[in-house]
């Protein structure tokens, strides 16, 4: 059985992001995010964001990184974490009142995001997938 601490703590991590608009391109900034979170961790994390919206990226190995959408864009985090552009799928989740919305921007990739356990569970439980944009 998992300990009580496991249920009440959020396993946040520090993610690296590139700041592309700085005079010195390639400058790195550390942001707060989640690495391979569970659905409950995503739900708690989104409630602590400024606009109740997170962005995420998923690679072909089903690794998921999520962060406050108000802080960084997908490619900046992907490149900051050393992921190659085009080898991950981008998405976002937002909550407005009681409605959850999941958007996946696939751009020709093979559905990495829905193979991730937390994203698949979010789609199944909340019935939230509104669009897969190609």
Range in 17-26, 33-42, 44-53, 68-77 the model is least confident about: 17-26
Residues 6 or more apart whose CB falls under 8 angstroms from that of 122 comprise 39, 42, 93, 100, 102, 128
What is the reported pLDDT for 32? Answer: 93
Count of residues for the chain?
A: 134
How confident is the prediction for the chain on average, in pLDDT? Answer: 82
Task: Give the model confidence (pLDDT) of 104-131 as tens digits.
Answer: 887 655 678 888 999 988 888 776 666 6
Ramachandran region, residue 72 (left: φ > 0; alpha: ψ -120 to 50; beta: rest) = beta
> What's the CA gap between 40 and 19, in Å, rounded?
30
What is the reported pLDDT for 4? Answer: 45
What is the reported pLDDT for 92? Answer: 93
| pTM, to two decimals | 0.81
Q: Where are the domains of the chain?
A: 34-133
């Amino acid at each position: 059985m998992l300990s009580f601490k496991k249920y009440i703590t959020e396993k946040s991590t520090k993610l690296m992001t590139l700041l592309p608009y700085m005079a010195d391109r390639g400058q790195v900034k550390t942001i707060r995010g989640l690495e391979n979170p569970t659905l409950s961790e995503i739900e708690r994390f989104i409630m602590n964001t400024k606009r109740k919206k997170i962005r995420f990226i998923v690679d072909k190995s089903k690794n998921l990184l999520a962060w406050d959408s108000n802080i960084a864009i997908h490619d900046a985090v992907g490149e900051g974490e050393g992921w190659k552009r085009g080898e991950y799928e981008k998405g976002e989740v937002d909550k407005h009142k009681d409605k959850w919305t999941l958007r996946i921007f696939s751009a020709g990739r093979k559905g990495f995001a829905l193979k991730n356990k937390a994203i698949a569970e979010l789609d199944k439980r909340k019935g939230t997938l509104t669009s897969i944009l190609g």
